[in-house]
Structure 1
């Protein structure tokens, strides 16, 4: 009986050994398959690199040929004028020689008749040349990032987010547009309208916003509230390189330690770790994004990429995600734009330029950007009623048409301390009505 039990136990052991052997074989096969796949993927990357290099060489040659053709055209116009000037100089020299001969002449008999003839033809016409000439155009290199070369993607496609927005409350204002909105812990909000140069502190009261205080004739490019409940501004009226602080009690404005000299500050963002991130711009001196500590020391400055080319055209709005990635809305006034994604101490890792279908006809013009409680990023898009939803690396995961729930021209975005989303609206470019609305909404899935 003991031996039978041992035999039964041995059978189970042998069965487990067979299972283990089968699993081992599967793992070895998987390992070999992954090794072969690795070689194949690397070869695909190298082949793609060769194709891209060939295309780049082709485009570089086309650009070079275009520059050569421009040079030929320019030289042709200059050579034409050089020929005119040379002929004029030759004629002038001939006339000068004749005059010089007459001055030195001792032939009295013919002198006066020759002088009379010369006086009638002494005027040398000014050569007529072009007032301006074309010039060789400058070369403006385009940004090369991993995302427009190719990315590694899992065979399992990431599941697209299903998002929904629901309006909790609608607030009417007497402003042309709500270009910035900042909720406070006391349930009030600071709002700013660039079109009206007006900044106000208000508190929701029914369907209205009861204005507690307001400040007019201010050009503000960015506004945030610190963890100590202070208000930081990038004040366009003062044309300073420093951020300024607004005293909520008396409305006085003072300078802070946050300096982006020689540029002027644009957008502002404060991270959960109290880092102050500021966009800087100057039409001649450049544009950059500065990461500063509480003392105002510059810890990181993002200005040029690894090819020493400028990263930004005009930093317009900033946010960051928990992995440390900084997302910057980069768009010059009136132009199409993008969302630039930066990694701490590194180069640009992504550049989102809009939805291929939504922005196929209407260019992507991002306005404001904010991070959601789920660590995604949502962006408003001018000229559409679309909110684009990106992951922490700047990849599109979903989008939402706010017109479906009656919100038109969404512009500014801000989450309240309790997790609701404020959407401040703009207006049609041709409109002059001052009735911009603010919506308090819940957003699920994003």
Structure 2
């Protein structure tokens, strides 16, 4: 009988679930979970005891997971038996089935009604469409980012050219100055040498005068006939001739020029290529700043239409949806609810991790908090994260105190239908992987990054896993010698991981690559963000940081909109 009813349902239009007569469904009772026609929603349903307080909404106002678009599935034929009409859908085999196939081929398979599987497929399409739209916006942002990078790089290379020219001018100036100094020294030595030569010439001229006098005396004596005088003077004249021999030169060359070393390009400088000497330095520029009503923005996620959701569970229980005006935050809705994690699924809605086993959802076109299809059985969900390939990662723990760790402490990976794909709990040695999963991020290479708080002082670490088998790639414990208190985590466009750490006095962002290796630190205090806490990237390309304040300071936390560049 059950199969017969399923076959009948698979072949007919969905009727009003109250009177089962009218197929034109216009309303839904959110309390009864019934689809209603206009007559039942206005009259008959109100006659049910206690239904006066029920909430009835137009199905057009609901999100895609609640909307019902009635389709006629009677034209679908069975692939195995083309003459028979397919009545149900086998989700195990992903194909339609006729009654014969249901009873023979798809026995013990997961058989569902066409309307149900249609709704599920539509939801997937909405998710996919939302992802396509986000990807398109991301590509547009990357285009703009490329233009920005090109402008910055052209400016940087222009500065390098100027530096080379300045260096060349400086070297030329120093060479000219050195050459002038050497030439001046040569000129001084040249003048000194000229004076020495001049002195030698003067000395020689004096000796020549003496020699001419001696020459005249010799001539006079040889021509004299006075022998008395001859023999009286001969000894003195001979002696004076011998004493008047010219002296040897006393001239020395003191100056020599020793040429310098051969020219080497390193004197001017050296060009280091980026792939040889490239340091990752993100650039953050605050474009707008807002003041919230609370002392911390604990969890932060971007939504559609440039909206943001943020929540607090410290001292207060608040979930706030805001839009960003030019000067201030404009509150769209505010709810009192305990939140441990947020994740937005395009085309589906905002997923909430609360103090219940099943995640909650606020549909895109609704303000109601409803049950989602994602549940962690008897555990308490904590952080949640949507991967880029639309898988949901949920950090969860057994009920009871956070510390010391007891029971299960896990990260569960699910598909968009709520089916569990993987559970990460122990390493290959059987040791516990997590104490308190606080935040999750992922990269396109299949790595999962889990912030794990290990004690009540919020000290933590980062556990990096391979998604395919849960093996540990690495564990990051923060700066050596510093107390590591991770607050928020997010993956960038370039698949790098950013972690906020507002307790470190010297740095506030830890930046790691997609393998979990540290590549840089950043101190947001340099740009005016004192205590960063939460982070999110929006579809419009902006980067948002939610701040915190010093305890009992009375200050309100700030929300920063930034341009973020990875160069």
Does TM, scored on the shorter chain, surpass 0.5? yes
Map of 2:461 onto structure 1:
338
Deviates further, 275-284 or 264-273 = 275-284
Note the alpha carbon deviations across 1:98-157, whole angstroms, 9 max, x for none. Answer: xxxxxxxxxxxxxxxxxxxxxxxxxxxxxxxxxxxxxxxxxxxxxxxxxxxxxxxxxx99
Rg larger for: 2
| More strand as a share of residues | 1
Map of 2:299 onto structure 1:
180
CA–CA separation in structure 2 for the residues paired with 1:410 and 1:389: 14
- The answer (yes or no) to whether the contact 2:347–2:364 under 8 Å persists in 1 is no
TM-score with structure 1 setting the length = 0.61
Deviation of residue 247 (structure 1)? 4.4
Q: 1:307 aligns with which of 406, 429, 446?
A: 429
Map of 2:322 onto structure 1:
202
Map of 2:474 onto structure 1:
350
**Does residue 1:436 correspond to 2:557, yes or no?**
yes
Deviation of residue 159 (structure 1)? 4.0
SS, match of residue 412 in structure 1: strand
CA–CA separation in structure 1 for the residues paired with 2:306 and 2:385: 20
CA–CA separation in structure 2 for the residues paired with 1:191 and 1:440: 14
Q: 2:409 aligns with which of 266, 284, 287?
A: 287
CA–CA separation in structure 2 for the residues paired with 1:249 and 1:177: 28
Higher RCO (CA 8 Å, separation ≥ 6 residues): 1
Deviation of residue 273 (structure 1)? 1.4
Change (3 A) 1:258 1:160: same
- The answer (yes or no) to whether the contact 1:316–1:330 under 8 Å persists in 2 is yes
Note the alpha carbon deviations across 1:339-392, whole angstroms, 9 max, x for none. Answer: 110102131111111022xxx2x4101111000011101000131351010000
- The answer (yes or no) to whether the contact 2:501–2:509 under 8 Å persists in 1 is yes
After superposition, residues 343-422 of structure 1 pair within 5 angstroms as 343-344=466-467, 345-356=469-480, 360=481, 362-384=482-504, 386-422=508-544
Note the alpha carbon deviations across 1:271-302, whole angstroms, 9 max, x for none. Answer: 12110100001244221000001121111100
After superposition, residues 242-281 of structure 1 pair within 5 angstroms as 242-247=358-363, 251-281=367-397
After superposition, residues 9-88 of structure 1 pair within 5 angstroms as none
Change (3 A) 1:295 1:158: farther
Structure 2, unpaired ranges of 5+: 1-274, 401-405
- The answer (yes or no) to whether the contact 2:319–2:335 under 8 Å persists in 1 is yes
CA–CA separation in structure 1 for the residues paired with 2:435 and 2:553: 28
* CA RMSD across the alignment: 1.8
SS, match of residue 367 in structure 1: coil
Q: 2:279 aligns with which of 142, 160, 163?
A: 160
Deviation of residue 250 (structure 1)? 5.6
TM-score with structure 2 setting the length = 0.48
Deviation of residue 254 (structure 1)? 2.2
CA–CA separation in structure 1 for the residues paired with 2:478 and 2:276: 20
- The answer (yes or no) to whether the contact 1:227–1:274 under 8 Å persists in 2 is no
CA–CA separation in structure 1 for the residues paired with 2:348 and 2:545: 22
Deviation of residue 426 (structure 1)? 0.9
